[in-house]
Amino acid sequence: MRLGVLVSGRGSNLEAILDAGLEVVLVISNRAGVPALDIATRRGVPAKVIRRADHADAGARDRGIGTALAEAGVELAVLAGYDQVLQPSYFAAFGGRTINVHPSLLPAHGGRGMYGLAVHRSVLAAGDPVTGVTVHEVTADLDGGPILAQSRVPVASDDHAESLAGRVLAEEHRLLVATIRSLS
């Protein structure tokens, strides 16, 4: 299955997908100069930077992202550490399936602002004994699309946001790859 991967930063989920031997035909970043783009270059995967600043508004940018995926023949788009909400114009331009990996057990600790370490801080502040990973279908409703897979990660009594993030990230890599395989 031809994958398109949307990234914004570090790119460890992108790397896990590539390490698993899955077929990535296009990487799109909304930010220039991020490590995820270096990973794409190193692995010989075509990459595009599609920035808000080069478009009239976020809707125009997202139409551009959807069009680029469609033109590359992408069948499944994967948001792997992509930090923007996709506008309706994206879904109009790209008719394929889009999935996202989120570092909590949605619907807990999802929604606006729940990104990166903020998610794990929220889990710790709530005193949750267990957190985890969710892979879900992306719709216009932020973090609200149908859940495809979840996996649990216990919270340790001495965890801080960074330690929890590290264990959850390892589980993200595993579950994201397994879910993509299950959709192929």
Nearer to ligand GRF, 34 or 70 (CB): 34
**Structural contact between residues 165 and 120, judged by C-beta atoms closer than 8 angstroms:** yes
Q: How many residues bind to ligand GRF according to rule CB under 6 A?
A: 14
Min dist. Cβ of residue 54 to ligand GRF (A)? 22
Contact assessment for residue 94 and residue 63, using Cβ atoms and an 8 Å cutoff: no
Distance separating alpha carbons of residues 14 and 27, to the nearest angstrom? 9
Is there binding between residue 46 and ligand GRF (CB under 6 A)? no
**Taking a C-beta distance cutoff of 8 angstroms, is the pair 171, 135 a contact?**
no
104 to 123: interface string for ligand GRF, x by CB under 6 A: ------------x-------
Q: Which is nearer to ligand GRF, 64 or 103 (CB)?
A: 103
Compute the distance between CA of residue 28 and CA of residue 63 in angstroms, rounded to an integer.
13
- The three-point CA angle 44-136-144 to 5° equals 130
Task: Name the residue number minimizing CB distance to ligand GRF.
Answer: 81
Give yes or no for residue 11 binding ligand GRF (CB under 6 A). Answer: yes
* Amino acid type, 173: H
Task: Tell whether residue 29 is a contact of ligand GRF (CB under 6 A).
Answer: no
Q: Is 80 in the site for ligand GRF (CB under 6 A)?
A: yes
CA atoms within 13 A on the CB side of 146: 3
Asked if 160 is an active-site residue, the reply is no
Q: Segment contacting ligand GRF (CB under 6 A): 23-31, 42-50, 61-69, 95-103?
A: 95-103
Phi, psi of 20 (to 5 degrees): -80, -5
Which residues are marked as active site? 102
Q: Which chain residues interact with ligand GRF by CB under 6 A?
A: 9-13, 36, 80-81, 101-103, 116, 169, 172
